[in-house]
Amino acid sequence: MISPAKRHVMRVKAAQEAAKTAESNVRPDASQHELLLAQLYEHTRQLKALQSIQARQKLKRELLPDYAPYVAGVLESNAGVSDDVLMTIMLWRIDAGDYPGALEIAEYAIRHHLPMPDKYQRTTATLIAEEFAEAALQGEPVPEHLLRDVDALVQDQDMPDEVRAKLHKAIGLLLEASDPKMALHYLESALKLHDKCGVKTKITQLTKQLEKNKSDPDRA
């Protein structure tokens, strides 16, 4: 049984902490992770208030440095604990154009089988593949070699065929100028995975180009 005196102390302390929490929305005894979750909630609220996608991307670029030390510490620990802050920052890095930074977290997440926060309703591998592919297909400057790193990272992961097809399509289109033969390989793979992924015309064009190059070596 708790003594009356201890009950009084608990009640007074609870009232004081509640008052402090009401002022900042964060408990005074919160851990660093809890503090970051509260910060992430506030930043997410700011982002949702913006209708412009470009404005959101700009704000994410401004906010991301606030989380960099935490992310570095988590990756260094290699603990593999589920972490909504870390996984959200991975997506923000993609949105902000920090593709190497996002891939760094993605590799950690896949290695430790970390789930995405519930609100995303997609597996981690699916989301990584689709977000990188979407960025490239929308014309964002995603380095081709990073897309291939993503493909290798999720190679053994289960995901919808349509998503993997989108990733292979993105890689194929980026390789079109520098390596048409490899580009054709990825585009044909995309077509096999999803026959409505929109690569049939490009495959026909590349096939003709490669045939011409083969018959006329000087064109290669």
Q: What is the pLDDT of residues 147-163, one digit of tens each?
A: 999 999 999 999 999 99
**H/E element, 3:** none
Distance in angstroms (rounded) separating the CA atoms of residues 142 and 92: 15
The two tokens of residue 182 are 């490899």
- pLDDT mean over 168-186: 96
Q: Return the pLDDT at 25.
A: 47
Residue 185: closest CA among 197, 173, 196, 194: 173
- Helix axis angle, 84-96 relative to 32-48, nearest 10°? 40
pLDDT tens-digit map of 91-140: 999 999 999 999 999 999 999 999 999 889 899 999 999 999 999 999 99
pTM for the structure as a whole: 0.82
* Residue ranges per structural domain of the chain: 42-143, 160-213
